[in-house]
Amino acid sequence: MKNLMKLSILGLLVVFLFSSCAKQPTQQIDEAKAAIDAVVQAGGNIYAKEELKKLNDDLQAAMDEVNTQSKKLFKKYGKAKEMLAKVKTDAEAVNALIPARKEEAKNAALTAQTEARAALDEAKALLEKAPKGKGTKADIEAMKADLAGLETMLTEVQAAIDSEDYFGARDKALSIKDKAAAISEQINAAIAKVKR
């Protein structure tokens, strides 16, 4: 009887040891989440969308594993810890990628801005050269006003670059470039009309 009592106490002790010593890896969870937050802060939603999704999926898988283990009598968080550590390492790697991608987007925006500026200047120069004679004066006034409108929009490109909206800036700059090129074509057509 005495022995049975001893065995029961020992058994309970073992169960207690196994179930309470394996604590949830809260520190690893926090670290993995912080690493993902850092990616988001650095612009991961814009510059590393796919990678960020994978990180979130991996974090979710790790959290599922933590949950599964937490419901077991004999908890083993080893696998979850490994998964969380990988999420953290991967997040740090993704974070390191972002500055280069941001720089690339910035350069693309700046290139588009330069191209738009050049297209606008070209149209303005053409307009200066255009013969202000019969059949063109009023058209030239209209095109001058059009170009003034584009000039205002070009300041919006700079504002977008300043606020680090590089993709938006690039799109706007390319659209301005297209419109300026279309105006140049109109001017050339007007010049050709006069020459005829």
Partner 1 sequence: MEQALLQEQDLWRAGASVFAAEEYEKYRQSRSQALKLFEQEELKVGLFRNYEKVRLEFIRVLAEGERIRQLIEDRKASLTGEIKARRNDLYSRYEILNTLSLELSQRTLSRKQLAQADVLFKEIDRFLERADYEQARSRLNSAESLINQAESILRQQLERYMSQEEIARWRRMAERAVEKSKSGDQPVILVSKLERKLTVYKGGTVLRTYEVGLGFNGLSDKLHAGDNATPEGEYRVIKKVSPSKFGKALLINYPNEEDLRKFNEARKKGYLTPASRIGGLIEIHGGGKDGLTQGCVALDDTEMEELFRMIAVGTPVTIVGTTDPNNKIIAILRREKK
Q: Which residues bind partner 1 (CB under 8 A)?
A: 50, 53, 64, 133-139, 141-142, 144-150, 152-153, 168, 171-172, 174-176, 178-179
Min. distance of Cβ 166 from partner 1 in angstroms? 14
Reading the block at residue 7, the tokens are 């065995």
Min. distance of Cβ 5 from partner 1 in angstroms? 35
Instruction: Quickly count helices (H) and strands (E) in the chain.
Output: 7, 0
Question: Is-contact 101 112, C-beta < 8 A?
Answer: no
* DSSP state, residue 1: -
Of residues 88 and 179, the one with the C-beta less far from partner 1: 179
Min. distance of Cβ 128 from partner 1 in angstroms? 17
Question: Is-contact 157 177, C-beta < 8 A?
Answer: no
One-letter amino acid identity for 114?
Answer: T
Rounded distance between C-alpha atoms, residue 170 and residue 115, angstroms: 10
Of residues 27 and 68, the one with the C-beta less far from partner 1: 68
Of residues 18 and 168, the one with the C-beta less far from partner 1: 168
36 CB-near residues (< 8 Å, 6+ apart): 52, 55, 56, 59, 87, 91
Min. distance of Cβ 189 from partner 1 in angstroms? 14
Of residues 10 and 148, the one with the C-beta less far from partner 1: 148
